[in-house]
């Protein structure tokens, strides 16, 4: 029985290590992955509990590896939480951009999109790079495109207004001058 517990514990550690190295491509992969890790952790708890109750000595190597993998698991769950937040924020920004936004709101949303893109780039865990890149693509191709198109429409409207008469020309010039910092700082 002592040998069985040791083999079971070692097998569980090996399985957890492989799971932690496994690439995650979607949020549904993450759910399956979390469930698999939880199953392995249950096995490890049973082994460690059995070892403690029977006074079987567990090697320092086993304890150290278990602790190292637990730290890695904690880091991964934080990274996954960040990815979930990015995913949710993309949806929120898509909804906000679908509304008819004023120019100042567009500039504000552009800054939020830029910040979200930087958060995404800060995720460097190799096992989630594919998912991170998917979100970056959504940010760049969907959100940035909407902002750029909206700013272009606003510029066209101002140009059209400037062709009307002198009063409209002054108003268009004022609007364009107030927009210039917004165009210069646009991240998209």
Rounded CA-CA distance 12/10 in Å is 5
State which residues of the chain have pLDDT below 70: 1-5, 161-169, 179-188
What pLDDT is stored for residue 90 in this prediction? 97
What pLDDT is stored for residue 166 in this prediction? 66
- The tally of domains found in the chain comes to 1
What pLDDT is stored for residue 155 in this prediction? 84
| Domain enclosing residue 88, as ranges | 2-185
Contact assessment for residue 67 and residue 17, using Cβ atoms and an 8 Å cutoff:
no
What pLDDT is stored for residue 157 in this prediction? 80
Beta-carbon contacts of 87 under 8 Å, excluding residues fewer than 6 positions away, are: 27, 135
What pLDDT is stored for residue 186 in this prediction? 54
Percentage helix, strand, coil for the chain under 3-state DSSP, each rounded to 5: 85, 0, 15
Tokens standing for residue 61:
């190597």
Q: pTM surpassing 0.85?
A: no
What pLDDT is stored for residue 188 in this prediction? 58
Rounded CA-CA distance 27/181 in Å is 38
């Amino acid at each position: 029985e002592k040998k069985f517990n040791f083999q079971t514990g070692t097998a569980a550690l090996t399985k957890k290590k492989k799971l932690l190295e496994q690439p995650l491509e979607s949020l549904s992969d993450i759910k399956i992955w979390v469930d698999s890790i939880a199953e392995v952790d249950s096995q490890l708890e049973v082994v460690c509990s059995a070892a403690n109750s029977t006074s079987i000595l567990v090697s320092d190597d086993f304890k150290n590896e278990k602790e190292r993998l637990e730290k890695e698991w904690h880091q991964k769950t934080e990274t996954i939480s960040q990815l979930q937040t990015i995913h949710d924020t993309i949806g929120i920004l898509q909804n906000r951009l679908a509304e008819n936004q004023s120019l100042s709101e567009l500039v504000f949303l552009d800054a939020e999109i830029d910040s979200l893109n930087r958060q995404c780039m800060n995720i460097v865990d190799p096992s989630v790079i594919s998912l991170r890149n998917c979100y970056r693509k959504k940010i760049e191709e969907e959100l940035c495109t909407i902002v750029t198109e909206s700013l272009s429409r606003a510029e066209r409207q101002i140009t059209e207004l400037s062709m009307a008469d002198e009063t409209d020309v002054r108003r268009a010039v004022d609007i364009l001058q107030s927009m210039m910092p917004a165009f210069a700082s646009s991240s998209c």
